[in-house]
Each structure stands twice: as structure tokens, then as C-alpha cells.
Amino acid sequence: MKTSAPRSSCLALFAVVAFAVHFSGILQTLLFAQDSDVRNLPVAKLVKINDGDLRIFLNSDFFAEYRADWKGTPIIWPICGPNKCLVTRAWPMIDDIDVENEKDVVMQTIYKNAVISERNGVKDHPHHRSLWFNHGAVNNGDFWGGTPCVIRQTKLISADEGDSVVKIVVENNWFHEKLDRDICRDVREIVFGSCKTLPNTRFIDFSIQIFALEDNVIFGDTKEGTFGIRVPSPTALTSKKITPQWGGTILDDLGNRDADTWGKKANWVNYVGPVEKFLEGDALENEYHKGAKAGDFPLDKMGIAVLNGPNSLGTIPWRHVRDYGLFASNPFGWHDFEPQTLGANGARKLNKGEKMTFAFRVIIHDGNLTAEQLDRAYKDYRSDK
């Protein structure tokens, strides 16, 4: 006589099989989605203007321009986000652009948007130059504040485009005006692309090695440095005082908000707020010709998150992030950021041939990334290196 398995056992077996099939389907969907994300990344293109100026495009959309020298330091400007809006302050760079006579139609459109974005903008700290890296105390020379101490490109080592990224590598010398000589050099590797797993995002990976050209090169303990970004005026927290519709927020991975993020060590910091909407065609021309006296302009939303990278000196930098729009990361300013620490001294000395390394990832987004997404992005960035 044949016996049949208990009904409960059959149901359990059926449930296990069904779950396995369902899970397999989910797994295939996730793997396909991941592969699809990679395949669907925009194609990154590089346009070489000269050995100093390089423009990066994602598909046909302008992303950023690397400039070897803007009044004494290399910078990246303009920078456009995934919704095309300008995500760093355009002043003072825009004042040196002959907008009306710019022959490149794409760049003229960007520059006209930059002019619009500066209406009612705050014109302070002219040494805040979009996105840059320098420091305010190197053997008592100020490379941060727009002084005669300058960083000069000596070589464009490489400029390459892959399927989805552009990578440039440059070499620079740090010229100390008072000493009348170069005291150190740096090699910068900068990668531009779109994030694989985050929607509506772009990234800039910035890594730099600084080599001493002589003994006793000291990067001093000061808050005036080092990896800097200046957000647009409408994004800055204090801009609410200028225009009620303006004013953003700041959040770090520790949960600190707004002014409380200043002087803290954080794995990532996210600055989010309104920004001028990118205009084209008739809408751009109509807004542009209103002139500087026009009181407002259409708004969009943007966010910039700065993630600390692996192998950086000091592991986690202090965040010199200000409510008026400065967004800097500084691994040296111990006594400024933690004055309660007796004997604090964040200075670092290099002898000839020795080096320091720093790395940051800048994620440019539409303003909607959550803390959880940024936590995952930070882990992904650290594991990539």
C-alpha cells in the first residue's frame, strides 16, 4: 500500500520551490538592471582646447571644463549638473568672459546662464574659484587667498576618454613668491563621469599627490584650505536673507545639519538647495536681456556631495563648510576646527622627495539623494579604490 506525504510537507516543499523561483527571478532582474545601468551610461567625450583647457561632455551635454590656470591656480569651471544647471558660483570667472563674442554656441549658452545666475549674487572671497585645490600656509606662503604664490601647470601628462569616463592627469609646480622658487609639485588625476548606481548624478573623482622639492616643506595648520568648492549664491544657507526663495541645507553623515557641520570630521557632506534653472533658446534670450537689474530668475534644485577618499592624509578631513557658500575639506586646520584640543597642531612636514596623497569624490545630483544613498555611495567609493 502506497503512502502519501503529509499535506503540510507538500505545502512546505511547494513554498520553498516557489520562493527559490521567485528569488532567482529577482536576482536576475537585479543583475540585468545593474548591467543595464552600466550599458546606459552616457558616453564621455573630451574636447581639448589647448594643453591647459579641456572640456568634458556626456553624450552631447556639457559637463565641465578643466582650466590649468585661472589667476594663479588650476580650477574646474563651469560645471553643469544632470539637469544642466550650473552647480558652482560663476563669479568671479564670468567677469573675464566676453559672452557676446563667444563663438562656440554651447559655451555661449552656458556663459549667458552664468550671467543670469549672478543676479543678486554675493561677490565675496574672489579667491573662491568654483572647484580648486590649494592651501593657505605652505612655508608661510599663501596659495589659498589669491596672492602671488601660484600653482603652475608644467605638463599635461595624459587626457583620455573611455566609454563612460574622461580621465586627465596633470603636473603642477607650487611657486613660492617670497622665496622666488618652486617648493613642491603635484600630480593630479581627475576623472569625470556618471554614477553607475545613482539616478540623475554625475561625479568628479579628484586625487592628488604632492611632492616636496626641498627639505622642510610645511603645510601649516590653518582653516584656509584646501579642497574647495563654492556653491551658487541661491544655494547658500544665508541667501534666504537676499531672496526668500533662495537658501539651501547642509547635512553630513554624522547627522549634523547646516552651521553645525562646520569644523566636523565627516565621511561625506551634502549641500543642497535652489539654483538657477538652465535656460535655452528664446527663454534664455528673454531672461538674459532683462539685464542685471532684473530681480529674479527661474529656479531649479541641485545638490553637491563631497566624499572623502581612501589613502587620504589624515583619513577624514575637517569640513570647512560655510553657510555663505564655501564648501571645503581641510586635513590641516586642527587648532582652528578643534580649539578645545590643547596643543593641537595639524601641520605636516615633507622633506625632499616625500609626498602626501589626497582623494575626494564629488557627486553632483538633482538634490534628491537620501542619506542612505550617500552612505552606500561612500562605501562603493571606498571599495573601488
**Residue 153: Cβ within 10 Å count:** 16
pLDDT at 39 over 50: no
Across the chain, what does the average pLDDT equal?
A: 90
Is 25 part of any domain? no
Instruction: Report the distance separating Cα 142 and Cα 177, nearest Å.
Output: 9
Contact 95, 270 (CB under 8 A): no
Is 270 part of any domain? yes
And the C-alpha cell for 307? Answer: 566624499
Across 4-13, 213-222, 238-247, 362-371, least confident range: 4-13
In the chain, the number of structural domains is 1
Q: How confident is the model at residue 32 (pLDDT cuts 50, 70, 90)?
A: very low
CATH of the domain at 303: 2.70.98
Q: How confident is the model at residue 313 (pLDDT cuts 50, 70, 90)?
A: low
**Mean pLDDT value of segment 219-225:** 96
**Mean pLDDT value of segment 65-71:** 97
**Mean pLDDT value of segment 27-36:** 37
pLDDT at 169 over 60: yes
**Residue 6: Cβ within 10 Å count:** 9
Say what percent of the chain tops pLDDT 70: 89
- Is pTM beyond 0.85? Reply is yes
Q: Which pLDDT value is given to residue 343? A: 86
Is 115 part of any domain? yes
**Mean pLDDT value of segment 49-69:** 95
Contact 285, 110 (CB under 8 A): no
Q: Which pLDDT value is given to residue 310? A: 81
Count H helices and E strands in the chain, helices first.
Answer: 5, 18
pLDDT at 14 over 90: no
Is 269 part of any domain? yes
pLDDT at 249 over 60: yes
Contact 88, 229 (CB under 8 A): yes
Q: Which pLDDT value is given to residue 385? A: 57
Is 320 part of any domain? yes
Is 278 part of any domain? yes
pLDDT at 184 over 70: yes
**Mean pLDDT value of segment 22-41:** 44
User: How many CA atoms within 13 Å lie on the side-chain side of 1?
Assistant: 1
Say what percent of the chain tops pLDDT 90: 82
pLDDT at 315 over 80: no
**Residue 151: Cβ within 10 Å count:** 23
**Mean pLDDT value of segment 205-232:** 97
Is 315 part of any domain? yes
Contact 270, 253 (CB under 8 A): no
Q: Which pLDDT value is given to residue 200? A: 93
Q: Which pLDDT value is given to residue 384? A: 74
**Mean pLDDT value of segment 143-153:** 96
Task: Determine the structural domain holding residue 167 and report its residue range.
Answer: 44-384
Query: Phi, psi (5° rounding) for residue 260?
Result: -70, -10
Is 97 part of any domain? yes
pLDDT at 314 over 70: no
pLDDT at 137 over 60: yes
